[in-house]
């Protein structure tokens, strides 16, 4: 049975890496890609698996994480549409640099390394976007390193919440993340992250609702994280 998506270039709408390509080329990408569905909690791949595909997010959310020998997890990022995942091992033809788990029911397109390389050779313009993507990743890593040196834990929790709030200007922003996941992202123990959340809640910057966090004053969180502009 053919599981390929019936639509054409539309499946790549908003995906920076394929923006600006001719419609026929976009159609070729979609035709070469295989749709994937991941249930919440499903592991897409683990660190050191062969890195044989680029995953283009269409719906849902995937957490990228590393696991310590003690079993402790550090969440490096949460990837949502229209972002892609898996570009690192695609570029260095090596193994996965981190593991990935669907944290919501998700849909994606999986493009094999072979198909991606063919595409790059016939459309070198894609390399512009690939370089932007890798540049963006290096920039985020630099920022994360600096945060671990310059920010205390409440500052990192505040910054993580600001980042997860995205560009939203809404007076209330709901983040579907429990406090353990937040601790894994901010790089702290669950207990100290809970304390930071409790202190932000007492100041009216957010409230918790079960497995959600509702941000009510993103500007205050920005200030606590030392973010300007």
Ligand X SMILES: Nc1ncnc2c1ncn2[C@@H]1O[C@@H]2COP(=O)(O)O[C@H]2[C@H]1O
- Interface positions with ligand X (CB under 6 A): 51, 64, 76-77, 85-89, 96-98, 137, 140-141
Cβ at position 76, least distance to ligand X in Å: 4
| Alpha-helical segments (H) within the chain | 23-32, 87-92, 113-122, 126-150, 153-165, 179-186, 190-202, 218-224
- Burial label for 202, CB within 10 Å (0-12, 13-18, 19+), is exposed
Buried b (16+ CB within 10 A) or exposed e, 80-91: bbebbbbbbbbb
- Closer residue to ligand X, CB minimum distance, 60 or 86: 86
Cβ at position 145, least distance to ligand X in Å: 10
- Closer residue to ligand X, CB minimum distance, 31 or 141: 141
Cβ at position 85, least distance to ligand X in Å: 5
- Closer residue to ligand X, CB minimum distance, 89 or 165: 89
Cβ at position 29, least distance to ligand X in Å: 18
- Closer residue to ligand X, CB minimum distance, 64 or 157: 64
Cβ at position 83, least distance to ligand X in Å: 9
> Which helix H or strand E contains 206, and what residues bound it?
strand 206-209
- Closer residue to ligand X, CB minimum distance, 140 or 212: 140
What is d(CA 25, CA 35) in angstroms, rounded to the nearest whole number?
18
Buried b (16+ CB within 10 A) or exposed e, 16-27: bbbeebeeebbb
């Amino acid at each position: 049975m053919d599981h390929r998506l019936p639509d054409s270039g539309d499946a790549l709408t908003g995906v920076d890496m394929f923006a600006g390509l001719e419609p026929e080329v976009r159609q070729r990408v979609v035709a070469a890609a295989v749709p994937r569905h991941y249930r919440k909690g499903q592991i897409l791949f683990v660190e050191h698996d062969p890195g044989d595909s680029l995953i283009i997010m269409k719906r849902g959310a995937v957490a990228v994480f590393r696991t310590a020998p003690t079993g402790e997890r550090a969440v490096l990022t949460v990837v949502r549409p229209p972002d892609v995942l898996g570009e690192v091992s695609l570029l260095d033809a090596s193994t996965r640099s981190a593991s990935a788990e669907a944290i919501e029911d998700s849909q994606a397109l999986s493009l094999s390394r072979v198909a991606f390389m063919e595409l790059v050779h016939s459309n070198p313009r894609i390399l512009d976007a690939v370089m932007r993507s890798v540049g963006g990743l290096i920039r985020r890593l630099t920022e994360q390193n600096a945060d671990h040196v310059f920010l205390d834990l409440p500052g990192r929790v505040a910054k993580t919440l600001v980042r997860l709030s995205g560009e939203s200007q809404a007076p209330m922003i709901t983040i579907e993340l429990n406090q353990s996941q937040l601790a894994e992202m901010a790089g702290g123990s669950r207990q100290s992250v809970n304390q930071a959340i409790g202190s932000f809640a007492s100041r009216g910057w957010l409230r918790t609702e079960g497995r959600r966090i509702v941000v009510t004053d993103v500007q205050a969180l920005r200030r606590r994280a030392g973010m300007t502009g």
